[in-house]
A = this chain, B = another copy of it.
Amino acid sequence: MSVSDGDGQSGKRGASICRIIVTEDDDAVRERFVRLIADWDGGELVAESATLSDTLAAIRESEIDLLITDLNLPDGNGIEAIKALGVIQPHAEAMVISVLADDRTVLDSIEAGASGYLLKDADPVDLVEAINDLMAGRSPISSRIARVLVKRLAERAERAAEDKDAPKMTPREMDILWGIAKGLTSDELAASLGISRQTIPVHIRNIYRKLQVSNRSEAVFEATRQGIIRL
């Protein structure tokens, strides 16, 4: 199946040719990639490299649209190249092609700025389709890798679900809570909500009771910890 939804050559780079760097220390694999790009009329290979330092040099010296990189490089980690690319040429995309699939590596790559991540395994990778995906603002990602992302996003939701037994604040109490988090005094709070300054302490006491705290700073801390206040 094609997990990618294809719409061909269309891309956010418009009609311009995609300038590419390929970094891969295995000569055979790299040559295969290079040939695929050469046979394709939508991209131009700006540089090919087998080491991190060569790649970093190429990123500094040439304008590119796409970095395709392995992670295990003889002189370092491809993630460094992705980070450098994000700093020097923020407009460019980055894609990982690696055998690594552990959570830490995958998440580090994505957080470093990789938009695509293909697993280098039995299946021969259709590089051109992946490049088209990237240039069209999509993210070609192997299903094993995607699982890591899904797991990560789902576990955040689980934590939020645990917070569901958090005390329920009334709308007014939420106003007050945000106010004290922002450091407003009772007077400022009253003014900003258009109510009497005498009413503020009542709400605050109710908040204290619900959060089982006894002053403003502890309330802010607890409310944040319980996810009632999201940053």
A residues with CB within 8 A of B: 1-7, 107, 110-115, 118-119, 121-123, 125-130, 133, 137-144, 146-147, 149-150, 152-154, 156-157, 160, 180-183, 185, 213-221, 224-225, 229, 231
* Residue ID in chain B nearest A216 by CB atoms: B217
Which chain B positions have C-beta within 8 A of A143? 3-5, 133, 138-141
Contact of A146 among B139, B183, B218 (CB under 8 A): B139
Tell me the complex Cα distance, A1–B137, Å.
17
* Contact pick for A231, options B142, B182, B224, CB 8 Å: B224
Please, how many angstroms separate the alpha-carbon atoms of A152 and B156 in the complex?
A: 12
User: Does B220 contact A125, Cβ atoms closer than 8 Å?
Assistant: no
A-B complex: 9 closest residue pairs judged by Cβ atoms: A1-B126, A183-B218, A111-B157, A138-B143, A3-B3, A216-B217, A139-B146, A139-B147, A181-B221
A103 CA / B212 CA spacing, docked (Å) = 36
Q: How far is the CB of A1 from chain B (nearest CB, A)?
A: 2
Question: Which residue of chain B lies nearest to A179 when distances are taken between CB atoms in the complex?
Answer: B217
Closest residue on chain B to residue A148 by CB atoms: B139
Q: Are A150 and B110 also in contact (CB < 8 A) when A5-B144, A119-B5, A143-B141 are?
A: yes
**Contacts A146-B141, A216-B216; is A4 near B5 (CB within 8 Å)?**
no
Nearest Cβ in chain B — how far from A192, in angstroms? 14
B-side contacts of A122, CB under 8 Å: 5-7
Interfacial chain B residues near A221, Cβ < 8 Å: 181-183, 220, 224, 229
Given B139, B153, B216, which contacts A107 in the complex, CB threshold below 8 Å? Answer: B153
How far in angstroms is the closest Cβ of chain B from A36?
11
The docked-state distance in angstroms from the alpha carbon of A231 to that of B228 is 13
- Would B5 and A123 count as touching, CB distance under 8 A? yes
Given the complex of chains A and B, what is the CA–CA distance between A180 and B214 in angstroms?
12
